[in-house]
């Protein structure tokens, strides 16, 4: 009997694209493999009437998938890597990290407004985003702007923007590229203005620990360069969080056999941001992440973290797009 692999996925268009991508890759490498896609609704899909910052833990879009993995209903769970917690539940592991798409964020102007980018926005313009990371860095760049929270999948967000009086919205380039919506990108934002979320642009494929069969099947799908770069980012995030999430951006990349890592941590209103960068051997990704996290803490990220702990806001897990 042919071998079967069951992929668990959320039902949004972007999540389905990601799972179909993994399915196509598996079938290309293993023509006799039967790959099934199982739809699973997560807490983040069910609660749509509150900001992520009010309800968010980083398991909002992953927990139900992880339960299905542990109880054997599915064999792999496909996530946007930025949604995946830095400490996985006992019994689960990261089986593969796919080659990264564009890591940058984009500004999207609504129909009828002819802005070319963030610099063209009038004073006190209104920008929509569900991400505290984006909010922080955008307000640091343009303190005059008003930020409007937005929820929903990528289709819902685009519909809300088009029906609104807002002056624009921020999303991840990767999600728009995967959906084929290149024409809606008004401006690709330089990482010097807004650093991306940890893991942004990569897919993380979660599996049961010690599942050698599935681990072996996923081998050809994992990209070593992306895995090393995002490992540095994820270790940095884990070291900074200390049980609480704050607006954090990080960008790891490898060039000429050197791993470069930039990172920031900031206050909720963007009035206080600490930044740092480090470089080293890709094989030292974990050490680089820890060292840069410690540098940020020494520059004041510890105070930012302490201040956020005193608020009633639970910072979000960034967002899916």
Query: For this structure, is 302 an active site residue?
Result: no
Query: What is the C-alpha to C-alpha distance for residues 266 and 271, in angstroms, rounded to an integer?
Result: 8
**Catalytic residue chosen out of the listed positions 24, 32, 71, 83:** 83
Residues annotated as catalytic (active site), given as ranges: 83
């Amino acid at each position: 009997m042919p071998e079967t692999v069951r992929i668990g996925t959320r039902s949004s268009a972007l999540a389905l694209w990601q799972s179909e991508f993994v399915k196509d890759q598996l079938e290309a490498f293993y023509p006799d493999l039967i790959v099934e896609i199982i739809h699973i609704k997560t807490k983040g899909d069910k609660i749509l009437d509150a900001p992520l910052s009010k309800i968010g833990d980083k398991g909002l879009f992953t927990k139900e998938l992880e339960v299905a993995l542990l109880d054997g209903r599915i064999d792999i769970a496909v996530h946007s890597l930025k949604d995946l917690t830095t400490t996985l539940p006992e019994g689960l592991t990261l089986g593969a990290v796919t080659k990264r798409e564009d890591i940058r964020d984009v500004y999207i102007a609504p129909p009828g407004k002819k802005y070319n980018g963030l610099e063209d926005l009038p004073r006190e313009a209104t920008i929509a985003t569900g991400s505290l990371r984006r909010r922080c860095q955008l307000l640091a760049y343009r303190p005059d702007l008003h930020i409007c929270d937005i929820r929903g999948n990528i289709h819902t967000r685009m519909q809300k923007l088009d029906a609104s009086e807002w002056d624009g919205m921020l999303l991840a380039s990767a999600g728009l590229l995967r959906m084929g919506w290149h024409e809606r990108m008004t401006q690709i934002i330089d990482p010097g203005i807004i650093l991306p979320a940890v893991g942004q642009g990569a897919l993380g494929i979660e599996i049961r620990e010690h599942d050698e069969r599935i681990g072996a099947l996923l081998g050809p799908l994992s990209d070593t360069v992306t895995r090393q770069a995002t490992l540095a980012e994820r270790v940095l995030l884990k070291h900074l969080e200390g049980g609480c999430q704050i607006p954090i951006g990080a960008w790891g990349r490898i060039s000429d056999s050197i791993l470069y890592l930039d990172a920031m941590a900031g206050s909720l209103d963007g009035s206080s941001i600490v930044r740092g960068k480090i470089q080293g051997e890709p094989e030292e990704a974990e050490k680089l992440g820890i060292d840069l996290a410690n540098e940020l803490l020494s520059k004041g990220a510890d105070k930012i973290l302490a201040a956020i702990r005193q608020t009633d806001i639970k910072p979000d897990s960034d967002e899916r797009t």
